[in-house]
Amino acid sequence: MKLDGKVALVTGGSRGIGRAICLTYAREGAHVAVNYTKDASGAEAVVAEIKAIGGKAIPVQTDVSQRSQVKKMVADTLKAFGRIDVLVNNAGILIPTELMETSDEEWDRVMDVNLKGPFICMQEVSKTMVKQGGGRIISTSSISGLGCAPWGEGAYGCSKAGLIALTAAAAQDLGPHGINVNCIAPGWIKTDMTAGKSGAKADEVNIRKAGLAAIRRIGEPKDIADIALFLASDESSFITGQVIVADGGRVDFVSHG
């Protein structure tokens, strides 16, 4: 019970990596606010799973790029649980387009959700954490943000690189208040997002990606959730401003440089 009595707010918690983090946190004793934008049924299902194992959870609908909605999300979480100990910035979108074909609207939307959203959430949640005397902020970036963005991920890669820079800056600003800020950079993880990008050839792509990893498999959401658990726990109390790469040891580029 590494998070016994803690309260976690997880954005993008209705599916994929976010869902795995919500369930992992709940199993370790945390109360969880499961954020979603459109997938209400998915969020309700995660809440139901948590309650089925004796945990406490609420769904909170929010577009993280809208400050007024984020303020309400924070207020709803505090009303339900009284505090926020862990913020996980996991909500993200990918619009696969070549650089020359990317519209202003597509670029802005990716930046709004993937970079502006975490910025707003950090600001609003950290106000509560400062009053409490500390907390943990964890963001989900990507190896695409480490200069490894493949075709069609120009906007996505830039947004995730910005999130890594934001993590470093926030760690310095919030460290004196007892708030640790870290980032996870996943490689190819089996989620709805990667399946959607791969289309009908998802299975073929997964096999190819597994062959590019030193450990010869693709990642599962639980692989990232376990890292998020470590970063949320007291075991990581002396770690801040860091990016943990979890890509299975990709050999098609140097993601650890």
Per residue in 78-110, pLDDT tens? 999 999 999 999 999 999 999 999 999 999 999
Vertex 193, ends 21 and 109: CA angle to 5°? 100
Q: How far apart are CA 19 and CA 255, in angstroms?
A: 26
Instruction: Pick the catalytic residue from 25, 36, 156, 188.
Output: 156
Place of tokens 């709803």: 76
219 DSSP assignment: B
What element of type H or E holds 35? strand 31-36
Rounded to a whole number of angstroms, the distance between the first and last alpha carbons of the chain is 35
Enumerate domains of the chain plus CATH numbers. Answer: 7-246 (3.40.50.720)
Largest CA distance in the chain: 51
Calpha distance 22→34 (Å, rounded) = 7
Pairing of β 57-61 and β 243-246: unpaired
**pLDDT tens across 12-67, in order?**
999 999 999 999 999 999 999 999 999 999 999 999 999 999 999 999 999 999 99
Q: What pLDDT does residue 199 have? A: 59
pTM of the model: 0.94
Is 156 annotated in the active site? yes
